[in-house]
Chain A
Amino acid sequence: MLRYLIRRIGAFLPTLLAASFLIFVFIRLIPGDPAAVMLGDQATPEAIEALRVEMGLEESLAVQYLRWLSDVVRGDLGDSIFFQVPVLELIVDGLETSVLLALMTMVWIVGFGLPVGMVAAARRGSWLDQSLSGMSMFLASVPTFWVGLYLILIFAAILGWLPSSGYPSIFGEGGLANLRYLLLPSIALAAPNAALIIRLTRASMLDVYREDYVRTARAKGIHPLRVIVRHVFRNALLTVVSAFGFTLAALISEAVVTETVFSLPGVGRMVVQSILRRDYPVIQGTILMIVLLYLAINLAVDILYAWLDPRVKLR
Chain B
Amino acid sequence: MNIIRAPKHVVAVAAAMALGSVFPLSGQAAETLRYATVGEPPSLDQHVVTSDLATTIAHHIFEGLYTFDGNYEPQPLLASGEEVGADGKTITINLRQDVSFHDGQAMTAADVVASLKRWGEHGSRGKLLFSNVSDVSASGSHSVTLTFESPFGPWKNLMAFINGGPAIYPERIASNAGSKPIDVKDYIGTGPYKFGEWKPNRHVELVKYDGYQSPPGAASGYAGERIAHFDRLRFIPVPDPGTRVSGIKAGDYDYAESMPSDLIDDLDGDADSKVVLNGGPIFGLVFMNSKAGPLMENFKLRQAIQAALNKEDALRVSIGPEKLWRANGSFLPKGNAWFTESGTESFSEGNAGKAKSLAEEAGYDGTPIKLLVSTNYAFHYDQAVVFTRQLLEAGINVQMVVVDWATLIKKRAQPEEWDLFFTHHGFVPDPILISVMNDNYPGWWATQEKQQLKSAFTATNDPAARKATWAEIQALIYSQVPTMKTGDVYTYNIASPKLSGIEATTLIWPHFWGVSK
Contact = CB atoms under 8 A, between A and B. Distances in A.
Interface stretch (A12-20, A31-39, A116-124): A31-39
B178 A149 contact: no
A164 B13 contact: no
A44 B410 contact: no
A173 B25 contact: yes
Given A85-B200, A262-B243, A47 B179 contact: yes
A235 B212 CA distance: 71
Contacts of A31: 403, 406-407, 410-411
A41 B409 contact: yes
A153 B411 CA distance: 41
B50 A39 contact: yes
Contact of A276 (B236, B376, B425, B438): B376
Contacts of A165: 238, 243, 246-247, 252
Given A47-B122, A164-B247, A276-B405, A36 B42 contact: no
Interface in B390-415: 403-411, 413
A90 B406 contact: no
Nearest to B252: A164
A174 B410 contact: no
A48 B202 CA distance: 28
Nearest to B441: A44
B252 A156 contact: yes
Given A83-B200, A162-B21, A176-B13, A32 B406 contact: yes
B269 interface: no
Give the one of B164, B250, B376 with max A CB within 10 A: B250
B435 interface: yes
A45 B20 contact: no
A263 to B, nearest CB: 4
Given A38-B181, A84-B183, A263-B240, A277 B42 contact: yes
B236 A263 contact: yes
Contacts of A85: 200
Contacts of A45: 413, 440, 442
A46 B403 CA distance: 22
A192 B399 CA distance: 39
Given A44-B441, A45-B440, A51-B180, A38 B42 contact: yes
B250 A39 contact: no
Contacts of A39: 42, 48-50, 124
Interface in A41-79: 41-48, 50-51, 54-55
A191 interface: no
Interface stretch (A206-214, A265-273, A288-296): A265-273
A260 interface: yes
Interface residues of A, number: 63
A161 interface: yes
B237 A263 contact: yes
Interface residues of B, number: 65
B311 interface: no
A310 interface: no
A180 interface: yes
A130 B503 CA distance: 57
Contact of A41 (B16, B17, B423): B423
Given A48-B413, A177-B16, A166 B404 contact: no
A42 B349 CA distance: 29
Contacts of B300: none
A205 to B, nearest CB: 23
Interface string B15-35: 011011100110000000000
Interface string A166-210: 101000011111111001000000000000000000000000000
B249 interface: yes
B332 to A, nearest CB: 17
A174 B404 CA distance: 39
Given A31-B411, A36-B406, A179 B247 contact: no
Nearest to A183: B17
A263 B203 CA distance: 11
Contact of B201 (A42, A50, A153, A265): A265
Interface string B195-230: 000111110000000000000000000000000000
Contacts of B178: 54
B252 A166 contact: yes
A149 B247 CA distance: 11
Give the one of A37, A40, A42, A166 with max B CB within 10 A: A42
B140 interface: no
A164 B406 contact: no
A227 interface: no
B125 interface: yes
B92 interface: no
Contact of B49 (A40, A44, A175): A40
B243 A152 contact: yes
Contact of A84 (B127, B184, B405, B423): B184
Given A32-B409, A37-B409, A54-B178, A160 B403 contact: no
Contacts of A178: 20
Contacts of A168: 25, 202
Interface in B416-444: 423, 425, 435, 438, 440-442
Interface of B: 12-13, 16-17, 19-21, 24-25, 36, 39-40, 42-43, 48-51, 122, 124-125, 127, 164, 178-181, 183-184, 198-202, 236-240, 242-243, 246-247, 249-252, 376, 403-411, 413, 423, 425, 435, 438, 440-442
Given A38-B43, A163-B250, A278-B406, 17 more contacts: A31-B407, A31-B411, A39-B48, A39-B124, A40-B51, A41-B425, A42-B441, A43-B50, A45-B413, A47-B122, A149-B242, A152-B246, A152-B250, A161-B21, A265-B202, A269-B201, A277-B406
16 contacts: A30-B407, A31-B410, A41-B423, A41-B435, A44-B127, A44-B438, A45-B413, A47-B122, A48-B409, A90-B200, A160-B250, A160-B251, A165-B246, A168-B25, A179-B20, A263-B240
Interface of A: 30-33, 36-48, 50-51, 54-55, 80, 82-85, 90, 93-94, 145, 149, 152-153, 156-157, 160-166, 168, 173-180, 183, 260-263, 265, 269-270, 273, 276-278
